[in-house]
Chain A
Amino acid sequence: MIEINELHKSYQTGANSLHVLKGINFSVKEGEMVSIMGSSGSGKSTFLNILGMLDEADEGTYFLDGKPIRNLNEKVAAKYRNQFLGFIFQSFNLINYKTALDNVALPLYYQGVKRAERTEKAMHYLEKVGLSQWATHLPNQLSGGQKQRVAIARALASDPKVLLADEPTGALDTKTSYEVMELIQKINDEGKTILLVTHEDDIAHMTKRIVNLKDGLIIDDSIVTQVRADEAQRKAAAHV
């Protein structure tokens, strides 16, 4: 699904150059659930943004579902983002003047899906994240966890190949975090490929593979036994 070879990325700030990614080799197969870990500033977000075609690498090759991602014009990039990728952000990034339903329907709008069908599909995904009763609410009428669920529904709406989540639980408390992770696990159970950036160990262990970034390189990449979020939550509740 994802093939990365010798990926480099530097940021130019004035006269200084910050070499953030120094030759990343990485691949993900369909259906995997991978977490990318590392200390703050280690380049996790930079890496994920390049995977998500929101940013461009300086060097290296990147294949997404067999297609080379290199020097695409914005129009093609927009199409690929729409078809192949679903984004989940730490700060949710919902459009605040659109209802939950309209937010979820937005990728379908850009796909050219007709309104009636869009509404129907968006409703289906809202149901899937358990928020069908909140369809007509605006984001500011929703809790953090609910907002992230809407964002997840939106990311799923265009039925992308890969879900990319940058610290999806970063703005949520533990309980809500686990609920969101439970949902993400469920989506992965259905076969969706998921890449998730986190700096929290417990969240990382809820995925099936952990990749560790340090000084611009992958220093560790290992398969782990997945901790189910619902069990973790039960355990945490028992502790209290």
Chain B
Amino acid sequence: MFKKDRWIEIIEVFNANPFRTFLTAFGVFWGIFILVVLLALTTGLRNGVSKDFGDFATNSMFMWGQGTSKPYKGLPKGRRVQFKLEDAAVLKDKLPQLKFVSPKGQLGGYNGANNVTRNEKTGAFTVSGDYPEYIEQQPMDITAGRFINYSDINEKRKGVVIGDGVVSSLFDVGEDPIGDYIKINGVNFMVIGTFLSPSSSGGNAEEEANTIYVPFTTFNQVFNRGDNVGWFAITAHDGTSITELKPRILEIMREQRTIDPTDERAIGNFDRSEAFGRVTGLFDILKFVGFFVGGLILASGMVGIINILLISVKERTNEIGVRRALGASPWNIRGQIIQESLTLTIISGMTGIAAGAGVIWLMNYALSQSGPVDNFANPSVNIFVVVIALIILIISGISAGLIPAVRATQMKPVDALKTE
């Protein structure tokens, strides 16, 4: 029949009992609003924690030497374990699943004693001896010049790559650091590159910004480290889990360093993948809870709408009897009730989604005003989830209408008319 007339009929029905219309709509609105906000909050938490985790390659581990806890092959207990450069080659040789085995050396530290000078300026920075691969493990944004390369390594060049924190401490605004010299522990190095620590490095960002990268070979020579390695940053190829390789790596290293195979304490390690997995696992649970709770609230909104529609159709049974006496066909009646409930669910659902989006926008706005907040960043909702929620809304809208509509048209008109 005429679409516009049907709409006029529906608006009349909504206006006939505005309070009930509002109540019905509010159940759905609230359900989807809570769902969207809950999901945005869990995503925000997850994003925040992942951000604090930094953007170091996930499938990685760090490994360093500690003291032995057992005597072995005549060597005493409590001996300090010192990694050597050759260990890297052995590891890569025995475990081809490893993508990078980066030997690292470190000197001083951010917040430590002043160790770097340029003219009158001084500062305390982390000085790190590294191989060129390291930038693949720890992404950084090279803003000028370049990162360490193999010519630097082979020729033991005295070149450094410095973070933006180092630049701002040692150089004046507008000065170009590239090609200029800085002194580390009294030794002159030329600046060959600068980098911006990615903002997503989270908690480590500040330390990152105050780091100076030196070619590993130069580092060992200048600071008299021989072929010692401070620690290893190891990344496995995609498709192999570093956590599964870890026992083998430790086994090889114990053999290399003459450590009792059962000495668990001699070598320290941090499995980034496992730690990351634990955190993301926690957030998977949190997300599930978000879905579950939000879904339940949405479902109760739906039960509410069906209930209210059932009551309202019951109250309108007499009216439906009158309409049928005047020539309304069952499908006309059903169609109208279904359209009523669909309109109500879709409008209130959309409003709920819009309000949820508004809250997300407000959260993001507040974050952008206040600056980064610990453990919370970029709350958002997957558009796919919103679409699914909308489809659920539409389906439940149809059934919310269909149930009372079928009930209303199944009885004889005379019985409908007798209902008061």
Cβ-closest chain A residue relative to B331: A75
Cα distance A56–B414 in the bound complex, in angstroms: 10
B330, A74: Cβ atoms closer than 8 Å: yes
| Min CB–CB distance B3 → chain A (angstroms) | 12
B12, A98: Cβ atoms closer than 8 Å: yes
User: B172 at the A/B interface (Cβ < 8 Å)?
Assistant: no
Residue from A56, A87, A94, A110 within 8 A of B328 (CB atoms):
A110
| Min CB–CB distance A40 → chain B (angstroms) | 16
Task: List residues of chain B with CB within 8 A of the CB of A53.
Answer: 413
- State which of B95-103, B132-140, B296-304, B316-324 sits at the interface with chain A: B316-324
A158, B327: Cβ atoms closer than 8 Å: yes
A110, B5: Cβ atoms closer than 8 Å: no
Task: List residues of chain B with CB within 8 A of the CB of A79.
Answer: 327, 329
Cβ-closest chain A residue relative to B8: A115
The DSSP consensus for interface residues of chain B is helix
Task: List residues of chain B with CB within 8 A of the CB of A112.
Answer: 1-2
Cα distance A136–B2 in the bound complex, in angstroms: 22
Chain B 266-291 residues near chain A, CB threshold 8 A: none
A78, B329: Cβ atoms closer than 8 Å: yes
B322, A75: Cβ atoms closer than 8 Å: no
A75, B330: Cβ atoms closer than 8 Å: yes
How many B residues are at the interface, by size bracket? 20 to 34
Task: List residues of chain A with CB within 8 A of the CB of B388.
Answer: none
Cβ-closest chain B residue relative to A55: B414
Chain B 187-209 residues near chain A, CB threshold 8 A: none
Chain A 50-105 residues near chain B, CB threshold 8 A: 52-56, 74-75, 78-79, 81-83, 87, 89, 93-98, 102
Cα distance A95–B412 in the bound complex, in angstroms: 19
Task: List residues of chain A with CB within 8 A of the CB of B322.
Answer: 93-95
B412, A52: Cβ atoms closer than 8 Å: no
Cα distance A87–B324 in the bound complex, in angstroms: 11
| Min CB–CB distance B221 → chain A (angstroms) | 93
| Min CB–CB distance A16 → chain B (angstroms) | 18
Task: List residues of chain B with CB within 8 A of the CB of A132.
Answer: none
Cα distance A75–B334 in the bound complex, in angstroms: 12
Whether A114 touches B2, Cβ cut-off 8 Å, given contacts A54-B413, A97-B15, is yes
User: A49 at the A/B interface (Cβ < 8 Å)?
Assistant: yes
Whether A110 touches B332, Cβ cut-off 8 Å, given contacts A81-B327, A87-B326, is yes
A81, B325: Cβ atoms closer than 8 Å: yes
| Min CB–CB distance A211 → chain B (angstroms) | 20
Cα distance A107–B326 in the bound complex, in angstroms: 5
Chain A 105-120 residues near chain B, CB threshold 8 A: 106-107, 109-112, 114-115
Residue from A56, A74, A106 within 8 A of B329 (CB atoms):
A74
Task: List residues of chain B with CB within 8 A of the CB of A81.
Answer: 324-327
Task: List residues of chain B with CB within 8 A of the CB of A115.
Answer: 2, 4-5
Cα distance A102–B319 in the bound complex, in angstroms: 14
User: A44 at the A/B interface (Cβ < 8 Å)?
Assistant: no
A82, B326: Cβ atoms closer than 8 Å: yes
Residue from B1, B13, B325 within 8 A of A52 (CB atoms):
B325
Cα distance A82–B322 in the bound complex, in angstroms: 12
- From A75, A78, A82, A97, name the one whose CB has the most chain B CB atoms within 10 angstroms: A78
Task: List residues of chain A with CB within 8 A of the CB of B13.
Answer: 97
Whether A106 touches B412, Cβ cut-off 8 Å, given contacts A75-B331, A97-B15, A112-B1, is no
Task: List residues of chain B with CB within 8 A of the CB of A114.
Answer: 2
User: B417 at the A/B interface (Cβ < 8 Å)?
Assistant: yes
Which residues of chain B have a CB within 8 Å of any CB of chain A?
1-2, 4-5, 9, 12-13, 15-16, 318-319, 321-332, 409, 412-414, 417
A/B interface sample: 16 pairs, CB < 8 A = A53-B413, A54-B412, A54-B417, A74-B329, A74-B330, A74-B409, A75-B331, A78-B327, A81-B326, A82-B326, A95-B323, A97-B13, A110-B328, A110-B329, A114-B2, A154-B326
10 A-B pairs closest in CB distance: A82-B327, A97-B16, A78-B329, A110-B327, A54-B414, A54-B413, A55-B414, A107-B326, A93-B322, A49-B414
Which residues of chain A have a CB within 8 Å of any CB of chain B?
49, 52-56, 74-75, 78-79, 81-83, 87, 89, 93-98, 102, 106-107, 109-112, 114-115, 154, 158
Known: A93-B322, A97-B12, A115-B2. 6 other contacts (CB 8 A): A55-B414, A81-B327, A87-B325, A93-B325, A109-B1, A109-B9
